[in-house]
A and B are shown apart, each in its own frame.
Chain A
Amino acid sequence: MMTIFRYELKQLKKNIIIWALSMGVLIFLMLPTYIGFTSGGDPLMAEAMNNNPLFEALGVGTAFVMTPLGMFSFLGSFAMIAAAIHGMSIAFSSHTKEYESKSAEFLLTKPHSRGEVFWGKFFACTVDSLLVGIAYTAGAGLALLTVKNVSIDWRAFLLIAGSLVLVELMFVVFGIVAGTFFSNVRTPVLMSSCVMLALFCLSTMSMKINQPILGYLTPFAFFKPMNTVKTGFYEWNFVVWYVVLGVGLLLTSYRKFLKKDVVFGG
C-alpha cells in the first residue's frame, strides 16, 4: 500500500502546495482585517451587523461575530466551502483519473490488492487535506497573534479550526464514494462543487428554519462554532454521527471497489 500511497501523494504535491499556501495566506491576511472592521466601534458597521440574517444562516450570532473567534468562525464558514470542494475533488479525481486516462488497467494488474489501491488513494487524499488544514490553522493562529489587546481561547480556536479539517475529511469520503460509484465522470471538480453547494444550502436552510434534524444530512452543520465555544467541545451526537457516517460510507465504497468491473466509458 505504501508504494501506491507514496505515488498518489507525489501526484498531489502541486495541489497540496497551492491549496495549503492559498488557505494559509488568505486567512492570515483576512482575519486581522475583518477583526479590525468589527472592533473599530463604527456605528454604521454595528448597525449593518445587527440582526443580519446571514450570520443566523451561517450559525454565528451577531454578538459572537464581534469577537475574534466569532469572526474566525464566520470566515471559516467560507473557507469550509473551499475546503469541501478541495477535499471532495481530490478524492473524486483520484478514482476518475484512472478511467479518464485509462490507467486503471496499469494499476490494477500489479501485485497489489484492490484494497491496497483503495486505501492508498484514500490516505493520500487524507494527508493532502490534513496538510491544507494545518496550513489554514497555522495561518489563522498567526493572524490571531497579531491582534492586540484580546485574549484568545486557544482550545476553542483549535476546535473551530479542526472542524474545517473534519468537514474537509468528510468531503474526502464523499469524493471516494463518488469516485468508486461514478468512475467514468469527466468533471469531478464541477460535480464536487455542485454537491458542496447543495449541502451548504441545506445547512443554511436547517439553521434558518430551525430544523436541526436536517443538519444530520450535511457536514456543514455538524460542528457549530458557537456551541463549541460555549460547551468546550463539539456536540457528541454529531461526533458519533460523523464517525458512523464516515466509516459507513468508506466501507460501502470499499466493498464496491473490490467487486467492480473496470469498464471504460461505461
Chain B
Amino acid sequence: MNAIEIKNLTKRYGEHRGIENVSFSVEEGEIFGFIGPNGAGKSTTIRTLLALIHPTSGSAEIFGRDCMKQAAEIARDVGYLPGESAYYENMTVGELVRYAADLYGKKCDGRIGELSKRLNLDLSRKIADLSLGNKKKVGIVCALLHSPKLIILDEPTSGLDPLIQQEFFNILKEENQRGATIFFSSHVLSEVQKICDRVAIVKEGKMIGVQKISELRANSHKKISVTADDIPIGHFNLGGITNYQQDGSTATFMFMGNIADILAKLSALNVHDLFIEEPTLEEVFMHYYR
C-alpha cells in the first residue's frame, strides 16, 4: 500500500490557478521530495492532502483512506509541519505542545523533552516572543511528538540555522529508519538532494515528473571545463553539447550523452586542466523551468 496516492488532483480558486491534474504516489518508508518554486502549487497539494482545502476534482488517499472523508482518522498517523508556523500567541511553548499531545490523545512528555532538547527549544517561553526559527522548532516538535507513520513537511528548514538544520535532518533520518514515510516539500533543492530518495517536480500547478534523485542526476547534463594547448574551432561539434563558450585555450560547455564520446574528443587534445562536474540540482531544476 502506498503512503500517499494522488490522482488527477485539481484545485481552482475561481479564476485563479491552484493545481491541475496532479498525480503521484509515495511508497511507504520512502523519503519523497516535492520541489517547485514559490507559487507552484506545493502547499495547495499538501493542504488538499490534509483536507484543509477541498479539491475541485480528483482524489487523494493516505494509507488507502480518503483524505476528505476520513481526515480525522488519517490525522492520527500524520505529523504536519506547515510552511508558516503560527500558533496561539498567548500560550507558552510547553502549553502548546501539551495541547498538541492532548489532541492526539497521547502522553508524550518524554518525546517532547527529547525533541526540545535536541532542537534547543525553551518550553517556558511565550509563543508571541519567539523568532521565526524558534516557531519552526515548535512546529517540528508538534509534528513529531506522536511518532507518526507519515511526516508531511512544507518548507521545513526556513528560519532554522545550519546546526539545527543538521540536527533536524538527523531526526528525520531516525524517523525514517523507524519506518516513517517522509513527504518533504521545498524550493531549496540542495536539502531535497541531501535526504530524498525520489522527487516530484511541480511547475505552475502542473506535475513535470517524478524521478529518483540518482536518475535525475544521471539523465542530466555534465558541466565540463577544459584547458588545452590548442582547441580547434568546431572540435566539440557533438550532439548533446549546449552553452558552449571558448575563451582562448579554455572551453566550457554543458554535455548530456555518452561520456565516452566526449572523452574521445578530449584525448585528441593536449589537455592541461579538466573539470567534469555534477550539475547541482538547482541546475537540473532550472533545466525543467526554462
Which residues of A line the B interface, CB within 8 A?
3-4, 7, 11, 97, 101-114, 116, 259, 261-263
Q: Which of A11, A102, A104, A112 is the one whose CB lies under 8 Å from B103?
A: A112
Once the chains bind, are B76 and A111 in contact (CB under 8 Å)?
yes
Nearest-neighbor residue (CB-CB) of B51 within chain A: A108
Once the chains bind, are A109 and B52 in contact (CB under 8 Å)?
yes
Top 8 closest pairs, chain A to chain B, by CB: A102-B86, A110-B103, A261-B53, A111-B75, A111-B76, A262-B52, A113-B72, A105-B82
Does any Cβ of A come within 8 Å of B78's Cβ? Answer: yes
Nearest-neighbor residue (CB-CB) of B78 within chain A: A109
Nearest-neighbor residue (CB-CB) of A263 within chain B: B53
Nearest-neighbor residue (CB-CB) of A264 within chain B: B84
Expressed in whole angstroms, the Cα–Cα distance for A56 and B76 within the complex equals 58
Does any Cβ of A come within 8 Å of B142's Cβ? Answer: yes
Once the chains bind, are B102 and A105 in contact (CB under 8 Å)?
no
A7 — which chain B residues lie within 8 A by C-beta? 99, 102
Nearest-neighbor residue (CB-CB) of A262 within chain B: B52
Q: Which of A11, A109, A114 is the one whose CB lies under 8 Å from B90?
A: A11
Nearest-neighbor residue (CB-CB) of B142 within chain A: A106
Interface 1/0s, chain B 13-48, versus A by CB < 8 A? Answer: 100000000000000000000000000000000010
Nearest-neighbor residue (CB-CB) of A113 within chain B: B72
Q: Which of B52, B73, B84, B89 is the one whose CB lies under 8 Å from A111?
A: B73
Once the chains bind, are B52 and A105 in contact (CB under 8 Å)?
yes
Interface 1/0s, chain B 202-222, versus A by CB < 8 A? Answer: 000000000000000000000
Q: How far is the CB of B47 from chain A (nearest CB, A)?
A: 7
Which residues of B line the A interface, CB within 8 A?
13, 47, 50-54, 71-73, 75-76, 78, 80, 82, 84, 86-90, 99-100, 102-105, 142
Once the chains bind, are A11 and B54 in contact (CB under 8 Å)?
no
Expressed in whole angstroms, the Cα–Cα distance for A191 and B240 within the complex equals 65
Once the chains bind, are B86 and A103 in contact (CB under 8 Å)?
yes
B47 — which chain A residues lie within 8 A by C-beta? 105, 262
Nearest-neighbor residue (CB-CB) of A105 within chain B: B82
Expressed in whole angstroms, the Cα–Cα distance for A106 and B79 within the complex equals 10
Q: How far is the CB of B101 from chain A (nearest CB, A)?
A: 10
Q: How far is the CB of A94 from chain B (nearest CB, A)?
A: 12
| 23 A-B residue pairings within 8 Å (CB atoms) | A3-B103, A7-B102, A11-B88, A11-B90, A101-B86, A101-B87, A103-B88, A105-B50, A105-B52, A105-B86, A106-B87, A107-B103, A108-B52, A111-B73, A111-B76, A111-B104, A112-B103, A113-B72, A114-B71, A116-B72, A261-B53, A262-B47, A262-B52
B76 — which chain A residues lie within 8 A by C-beta? 111
Q: How far is the CB of B102 from chain A (nearest CB, A)?
A: 5
Q: How far is the CB of A9 from chain B (nearest CB, A)?
A: 13
Expressed in whole angstroms, the Cα–Cα distance for A7 and B90 within the complex equals 12
A105 — which chain B residues lie within 8 A by C-beta? 47, 50, 52, 80, 82, 86
Expressed in whole angstroms, the Cα–Cα distance for A104 and B89 within the complex equals 13
Known: A3-B102, A7-B99, A7-B102. A109 touches B87 (CB 8 A): no
Nearest-neighbor residue (CB-CB) of A107 within chain B: B103
B86 — which chain A residues lie within 8 A by C-beta? 101-103, 105-106
A101 — which chain B residues lie within 8 A by C-beta? 86-89
Expressed in whole angstroms, the Cα–Cα distance for A113 and B73 within the complex equals 8
Once the chains bind, are A110 and B75 in contact (CB under 8 Å)?
yes
Nearest-neighbor residue (CB-CB) of A99 within chain B: B86
Q: Which of A4, A105, A108 has the most CB of B within 10 A?
A: A105
B52 — which chain A residues lie within 8 A by C-beta? 104-105, 108-109, 261-262
